[in-house]
């Protein structure tokens, strides 16, 4: 773990192993933080914030340091790519893209940081008196960031780049399943010139370290990405001290195929939306809505294309489907597949663990397609977080919108079809992001977050950066004659 500018062991001396999900073998040993380690990291962040060693710098100065972090990530990209693949089970292509994205986020947030230097002027009025008004953006203080295992380096970069750009101090806790790349990122951040204590990284179990990061009174903001269930728990804990929270939670995202969609584009796009990174993506388009008019033809094309997908080691060229992250996640996915069959859905493809040859000890699931799915089935309502897509029929656009909006989630959605018609549907979808003839495209300039139980607040873009600030309104009276301060008169009579 990295606390107050240096790497150290856990106070208890305990460690745990990171497991390669493709082989079941340990790839590294990591210090196992306890509550006392989390408290120590928070204390370091608090001291760093309160003496203004980082928060007191101009945003443009912080931006230059974030640019240096981006450069450091690029220089260590081969190392990070291999580590990310072994730690999370990502294919090398996906891991390489994640590393590139991590640097991109730091660079863009560094550019946005300079915008915080200048106050935002407000409309000037003469009532209740002549004045000049503006909003100044201050850093929140000590932020804690708790991230999941599906995009370990990129999620860390999302949270840290925004927190640091705004001038905060931060403690990051990566998921237990994927602890490794955050250690390298801490080195890069240190070497780029972020002062001691400003950025801290601890690895440990959520019920112990995570709760300390949420309940400690020295913490001002909690940023979390993960399941809706855990997000609700975090909200309850954070409420005791009225902490600011940003929560990016679960999704059960629909992909609507219109009858005027390009068939080949829609099929391949739907597969990418559903099966990218084995479906272990909060925005996975795991509900595929297909109109009655083209249903059979579309499903036939879909199954033909899914049959060409290759399950294999993520380090092998040509692999399209790697492992899920852990034995626990494997069991979860297989359980949902069993539930789908029991509820009457048709298992049209996949559905089984893959253990052929060198995959024997890994956590591999064949890409799975369910047809004859109704909107009330468990597999159409609950987030599975695995390589499973459900195909649902709809009769017309009105029916498609009803089905698409018919879950507790509202993170993202996709529409495949003519732009004009798709844009009309997009206006009616309850989702924080709607892709039209695209999917899974995120960018540090574009705000990201969910409706309903998919979260609170936004990440990315200038809107996301502002989530890591406090807005301070300053009112400057420009006429200082006592005779003009008439609003005093109801309490203090004017002097005679």
211 is catalytic: no
Q: How far apart are CA 300 and CA 284, in angstroms?
A: 21
Parallel, antiparallel or unpaired: strands 455-456 and 244-248: antiparallel
Element (H, E) at 113: helix 92-113
Phi, psi (degrees; rounded to nearest 5) at 56: -80, -5
344 close to 289: Cβ distance less than 8 angstroms: no
Element (H, E) at 82: helix 77-88
| DSSP H helical ranges for 89-209 | 92-113, 152-165, 181-192
253 is catalytic: no
E-assigned strands of 281-423? 287-291, 346-349, 353-354, 364-365, 368-371, 388-394, 409-410, 412-416
The one catalytic residue among 177, 212, 248, 459: 248
Q: How far apart are CA 141 and CA 168, in angstroms?
A: 5
Dihedral (CA of 388, 394, 396, 400) sign: negative
Token couple for 140: 């929140």
Can you say whether residue 281 is alpha, beta or left, with left for phi > 0 and alpha for psi between -120 and 50 degrees?
A: beta
Q: How far apart are CA 494 and CA 489, in angstroms?
A: 6
Parallel, antiparallel or unpaired: strands 26-31 and 433-436: unpaired
Q: How far are the Cα atoms of 255, 329, 442 from residue 416, in angstroms, in the given order?
A: 7, 30, 18
Residues 6+ apart with CB under 8 A from 484: 129, 130
The one catalytic residue among 177, 282, 383, 467: 282
Dihedral (CA of 183, 188, 189, 195) sign: positive
110 close to 67: Cβ distance less than 8 angstroms: yes
Check residue 484 and report its DSSP letter: G
My answer on whether omega of the bond before 202 falls inside 30° of 0, hence cis, is no
Token couple for 427: 């206006």
**Active centre residues (catalytic):** 248, 282
């Amino acid at each position: 773990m990295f606390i107050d500018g240096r790497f150290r062991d856990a106070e208890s001396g305990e460690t745990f192993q990171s497991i390669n999900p493709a082989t079941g073998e340990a790839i590294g040993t990591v210090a196992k933080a306890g509550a006392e380690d989390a408290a120590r990291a928070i204390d370091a962040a608090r001291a760093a914030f309160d003496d203004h060693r980082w928060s007191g710098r101009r945003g443009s100065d912080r931006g230059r340091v974030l640019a240096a972090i981006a450069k450091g990530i690029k220089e260590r990209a081969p190392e990070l790519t291999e580590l990310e693949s072994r730690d999370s089970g990502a294919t090398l292509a996906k891991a390489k893209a994640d590393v590139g994205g991590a640097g991109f986020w730091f660079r863009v947030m560094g550019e946005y940081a300079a915008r915080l230097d200048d106050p935002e002027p407000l409309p000037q009025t003469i009532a209740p008196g002549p004045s000049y008004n503006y909003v100044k953006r201050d850093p929140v203080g000590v932020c804690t960031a708790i991230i999941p295992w599906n995009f370990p380096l990129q999620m860390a970069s999302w949270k840290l780049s925004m927190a640091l750009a705004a001038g905060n101090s931060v403690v990051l806790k990566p998921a237990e399943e994927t602890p490794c790349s955050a250690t390298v990122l801490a080195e890069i951040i240190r070497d780029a010139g972020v002062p001691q204590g400003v950025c801290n990284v601890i690895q440990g179990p959520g019920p112990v370290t995570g709760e300390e990061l949420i309940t400690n009174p020295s913490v001002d903001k909690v940023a979390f990405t993960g399941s809706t269930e855990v997000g609700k728990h975090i909200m309850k804990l954070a409420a005791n001290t009225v902490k600011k929270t940003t929560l990016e939670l679960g999704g059960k995202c629909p992909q609507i195929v219109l009858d005027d969609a390009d068939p080949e584009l829609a099929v391949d796009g739907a597969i990418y939306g559903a099966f990218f990174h084995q479906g272990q993506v909060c925005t996975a388009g795991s509900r595929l809505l297909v109109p009655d008019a083209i249903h059979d033809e579309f499903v036939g094309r879909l199954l033909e294309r899914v049959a060409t997908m290759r399950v294999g080691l993520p380090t092998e060229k040509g692999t399209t489907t790697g492992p899920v992250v852990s034995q626990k996640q494997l069991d979860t996915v297989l359980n949902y597949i069993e539930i789908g069959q029991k509820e009457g859905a048709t298992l049209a493809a996949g559905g089984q663990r893959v253990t052929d040859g060198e995959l024997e000890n890994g956590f591999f699931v064949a890409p799975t397609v369910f047809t004859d799915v109704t909107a009330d089935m468990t597999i159409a309502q609950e987030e599975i977080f695995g390589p499973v897509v459900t195909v649902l029929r709809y009769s017309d656009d009105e029916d498609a919108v009803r089905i698409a909006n018919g879950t507790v989630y509202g993170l993202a959605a996709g529409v495949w079809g003519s732009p004009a018609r798709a844009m009309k549907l997009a206006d009616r979808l309850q989702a924080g992001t709607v892709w039209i003839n695209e999917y899974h495209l995120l960018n540090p300039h574009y705000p990201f977050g969910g409706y309903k139980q998919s979260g609170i607040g936004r990440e990315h873009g200038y809107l996301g950066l502002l989530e890591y600030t406090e807005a301070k309104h300053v009112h400057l009276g420009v006429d200082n004659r006592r005779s003009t301060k008439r609003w005093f008169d109801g309490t203090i009579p004017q002097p005679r």
